[in-house]
Amino acid sequence: MFPRPIPKIHVSFEDPDGKGYEAFEATYKEIEDLLLPKVKAFFEVKKEVSNSDEGVDIKFSGFVTKEKIETMVNNCKSGQCECMSDTTKAKITDMHVSGENGNVKLALSGDISEDDIKEAKSYQQIKNKNSSKWLCSMRGNILSGIVVTLALIPEAIAFSIIAGS
């Protein structure tokens, strides 16, 4: 069904159902302390920028696909991205993507330096400050998803009992 194995993050929590409010608070605290750091680490993309003889190399590791970096490069080449200023883009003569999922290298050729990339990163952060609210409140969104999932379990059980009769 899936084209490749799907990684799983599993953390067990004691079911607070039928217990007092304190049990729900304790489970909430466990989710914050145990699950959220694992989810954040799983989805983290690390970037290592360094100068090279031809320009700059950016090494991406973690939750990154080669296809996503290639798409980003194609968008940049066609002028569809706003990841850096036009001045910085003009310094780049070529972009080459290599590696494999989880460990991708982007080689930028031209009169570009590591400092230009750091400047582009801050430019992008200012430009995208309000564009991605989901990651800004990742904790709240994950906890909301867990609550909704847990709330639907009794409904699913009730439906299966009714449907099975």
Q: What is the pLDDT of residue 104?
A: 92
10 Å CB burial of residue 56 (0-12, 13-18, 19+) is buried
Q: Which of 83, 86, 96 is nearest to 52 (CA)?
A: 96
- Alpha-carbon dihedral sign for residues 159, 160, 163, 165: negative
Q: 3-state secondary structure string, 148-164?
A: HHHHHHHHHHHHHHHHH
Per-residue pLDDT of the chain (165 residues; tens, 9 = 90+): 556 677 788 888 888 888 999 999 999 999 899 988 888 888 888 888 899 999 999 998 888 888 988 988 888 888 777 777 778 888 889 999 999 988 999 999 999 888 888 887 665 554 444 444 555 567 778 888 888 888 888 888 888 888 875
